[in-house]
Amino acid sequence: MDWQAFALTLRLASITTIVLLAIAVPLAALLVLGRARWLAAVEALATLPLVLPPTVLGFFLLVLLGPRTAAGRAIAALFGHPLAFSFDGLVVGSVIYSLPFAVQPLVAGFAAVPASLVDAARLLGAGPSRVVRTLLVPLARRSLITAAVLSFLHTVGEFGVVLMLGGDIPGATRTLSIVLYNQVENFDYGAAGRTAAILMGLSVLALIAIYSKGLEHGGARGGSRA
């Protein structure tokens, strides 16, 4: 078992989840509370990675944000190195790739909070950030958990982006799904089986955790009721 890759994968998924929640909570609140027409375009963009082939994303990050473009050089200056072949690059790729898995449950959860409550809070003088902090987030707690777990698992299971962008560097970009791929390609089916079992076990446990939590609350599975 490649424990270095295991730790790296958990670190990548944790950091990605934290960054994603920081982006997705305000974004989902904006999508639910906002009334502007262009928000539909924003929601479409935020959902795009769900249907986008990971190879498209890998290509964008590798070439369009590579060291040969102005945008790429700006990013390289910001991070101190190009995105490709680095842990930071994988975080950027994973945040984009898992964005819909964080935004979608939150939009559903926030939208299920009765509009009358939001209006009442506003009438009492609460600004948008206070509405989100004291009303939407506590009431949509389960959606927040769902968003976090799905983002985490989706990042653990990410493969195509890492394969195109990673360069398979132990301790930096060699994640568990890459290890599994290497083991299969090197004909080491026994080790591949063990790695696959860990990836599978992780996903099953987390999903059971989400759904059993739902049953405790009277079988509400929609993720919207708190």
Partner 1 sequence: MEAGLALMRRRLLPALFALVLPAPVCAQAALRVAAAADLEPVLPPILAQFEEQTRIHAAATYQASAMLTTQIENGAPFDLFLSADLSFPGRLIAAGMADTAEPAPIPYANGTLVLWERKDSHLPFPSLALLSDPNLKLLAIANPERAPYGRAAVAALTKLRLYDSLKPRLVTAENIAQAAQFVDSGNADAGLISLTSALTPKLTASGNYFVIPRDLYPPIEQGAVIVKSTKRRAAAQKLLDFLLSAPVQAELAKSGLTPVK
Selected from 34, 53, 67, 193, the binder of partner 1 by CB under 8 A is 67
Residue 5 binding partner 1, by CB under 8 A:
no
Residue 120 binding partner 1, by CB under 8 A:
no
Residue 38 binding partner 1, by CB under 8 A:
no
Q: How far is the CB of 49 from partner 1 (least distance, A)?
A: 22
Q: How far is the CB of 64 from partner 1 (least distance, A)?
A: 10
Q: How many residues does the chain have?
A: 226
Give 82 or 100: the residue with its C-beta nearer to partner 1.
82
Write out the two tokens for 110.
């926030």
Write out the two tokens for 49.
């990675």
| Candidate ranges 8-16, 40-48, 80-88, 115-123; the one touching partner 1 (CB under 8 A) | 80-88
| Candidate ranges 29-37, 122-130, 149-157, 164-172; the one touching partner 1 (CB under 8 A) | 164-172
Give 88 or 168: the residue with its C-beta nearer to partner 1.
168
Rg of the chain's alpha carbons, rounded to an integer?
20
Q: How far is the CB of 186 from partner 1 (least distance, A)?
A: 5
Contact between 93 and 16 (Cβ < 8 Å): no
Q: How far is the CB of 210 from partner 1 (least distance, A)?
A: 27
**Matching residue, tokens 């009431």:** 139
Helix H or strand E segment including 188 = none
Q: What string of DSSP letters covers 34-74?
A: ---TTHHHHHHHHHHHHHS-HHHHHHIIIIITSTTSHHHHH
Give 140 or 158: the residue with its C-beta nearer to partner 1.
158
The per-residue b/e assignment along 190-224, b for 16 or more CB within 10 angstroms, e otherwise, is ebbeebbebbeebbeebeeebeeebeeeeeeeebb
Residue numbers at the binding site for partner 1 (CB under 8 A)? 62-63, 66-68, 72, 82, 84-85, 163, 167-169, 182, 184-187
